[in-house]
Amino acid sequence: MALEQGVVDAIYTQSGPFQHLQEATGKFKAIEDLSKYPDWTLQVCNVPAVITCSDVMAEEHPELVVTFMKGMINVGRWANEHKHAAAAILDKQTFYLDVEDTYRGIKNIDMVPTLSPQNLAAIEIGKDFMLSHGYIKNDFDVHEWAAPEFLEQAARELLEEQWQKATSAKLPEAASELQASTRRLG
């Protein structure tokens, strides 16, 4: 590691998880926690998490993209309603210390995918940083790249499915006697 070998004097990591691992070695100490500042742009690292697919999938199989996004919306809704359970699942694949530490990391996060103006701005900040430092070679328009039509279609389909389920649950089953005869009233 460049920091341990003295090649660099400091590194930036996404606060909580990696800080714990680094400090657990006894060799490193956090010198700044950007999450303590009110300026959200200082905290743009790998957030928001970006869901991507290939252009081939988007162009040739948009129905798969929409289906995947419907799943991500449902998972996000479930995770928002069951933060401790979601933390227990996420802890198995993160670098947090334990489930409670993972919970603290996600408790204020909306887990439902969204292309909110703030999320798009955060992605643009990250993209501009990578471009200006040579990590990516080609500039692009984040708003065009984001392809909101998939998320919008997924949300629309979920809403329609919920509407169908809610309204059909209230309708009585058609009885064969009602279908077999009619009777004039009045």
Condensed to tens digits (0 to 9), the pLDDT of residues 36-79 reads 777 777 767 656 678 889 999 999 999 999 999 999 999 999 99
Q: In the chain, pLDDT over 90 holds for what percent of residues? A: 44
- The confidence band for 35, taking pLDDT boundaries of 50, 70 and 90, is confident
> Could you give the C-alpha distances from 41 to 4, 12, 121, 129, in angstroms and in order?
28, 15, 9, 12
Q: What is the pLDDT of residue 185?
A: 65
Residues 5 and 178: their CA atoms lie apart, in Å, by 84
In this predicted model, which residue has the larger pLDDT, 110 or 181? 110
Q: What is the pLDDT of residue 46?
A: 58
Residues 170 and 45: their CA atoms lie apart, in Å, by 47
Listed by start position, the domains of the chain span 1-35, 44-169
Condensed to tens digits (0 to 9), the pLDDT of residues 132-177 reads 988 889 999 999 999 999 999 999 999 999 999 888 877 777 655 5
What angle, 0 to 180 degrees and rounded to 10, lies between the N-to-C axes of helices 99-106 and 15-24? 150
Q: What is the pLDDT of residue 81?
A: 98
Q: Is the dihedral of CA 113, 117, 122, 127 positive or negative?
A: positive
The half-sphere exposure of 41 on its side-chain side, counting CA atoms within 13 A, is: 8
CA angle 102, 105, 109 (to 5 degrees): 125
Position 181 pLDDT exceeds 70: no
CA angle 34, 38, 44 (to 5 degrees): 50
CATH of domain 44-169: 3.40.190.10
CA angle 108, 111, 112 (to 5 degrees): 135
Within 10 angstroms of residue 167's Cβ, the number of other Cβ atoms is 9
Q: In the chain, pLDDT over 70 holds for what percent of residues? A: 83
